Structure 1
Amino acid sequence: MSESMNQQILLKSYPTGEPKESDFAVVETAIPEPGEGEILDRTIYLSLDPYMRGRMSDRASYEEDRRRREQIDTKNNADSLVYQSEKQLEDLDGQVSDADKERAVSLIGDLRSAIGQENYDQMRSLTTDLKQALMQIGSAVYAKAGADASNPHPASPPSGNSEEDVIDADFVP
């Protein structure tokens, strides 16, 4: 091969099974002169990696697989959130306002419906809305618990003699 010739290895046909020499074509072409602002690069070594196997098929790309994976993840996340939300509402029974509970239950029902219909855009939107509703519920419950804990005057007086209820102890780390 002369200095002014370029050797190219082209994909002649899509391999079935293991790639064979007959799936490729070796051609020599003239090396083009670089234009203004361009450079000429010489490739000495070329790697053919397993990743490239997907590129040697008649499919356009991995986009279809990526999109399907995203849909599966969206559906799994939505389903998991439905379960966690129902469990959280059950655990906080009596501590959540009726309005907050009704909103969360409504969003859970809508999300279940979106899962059943495989409406991925609606699943993403409702997942965000339900997470926000649950954070609002959590904030309200913790704020109420914090207010109850900081109340210096409990609703009922302590039982027994206050002298007998005191235990003197030393804390040693």
Structure 2
Amino acid sequence: MKRITYYSIQNVTESEKVGCWPQLEPPKRYWKVKNNYDDVLDYRKFPEVTPNLDNFTLKSIAKRTDVLSAEMQGVGGRIGMFVSEKFKGLVENYTLRDFRFYDCKLISSFDENFNKRENSELFHFNYLNFIHPTDIIDFKHSVFEDLKINEMVTIENEEERTMFLYPRKTNTKRNA
């Protein structure tokens, strides 16, 4: 029988490694941007249109790492991450299911009033978008964090899942 190895990706929040968390700020008035991530990204399916993930800004005290954290309201932060070309190349060497990369342009820094600095630069990154097909999830044996009450909970099925439930331990069905 072929042995399968699983890897886990976790956020690093220690300031000595990332400078600050989150490292990126969403663009000003992103909710007015056509195809913004809140309108387009969904954990159950890929978007029909390309999400606009441009103009996130790297905080001036943040370190530019291969994976950049962003506090994205709504579903965006739950289903993907900003990654460098180097990280993208690494991921493409593995067999992954249900992911896509989207190109994006990020801004290198801004001042304390969120104004773009004169020495700012645009730099290329990628958004790694995951979807979580719910037909393979064993909800009864998975654990979710309920962000409203800050407690771990279990649910019976997809219909009970709300946007306030963040997966902490996800089990798959045996014959999926």
* TM-score, normalisation: structure 2: 0.21
Q: Higher Cα Rg: structure 1 or 2? A: 1
The higher-RCO structure (CA 8 Å, 6+ apart) is 2
Greater fraction strand: 2
Please report the TM-score for the alignment, with normalisation by the length of structure 1: 0.21
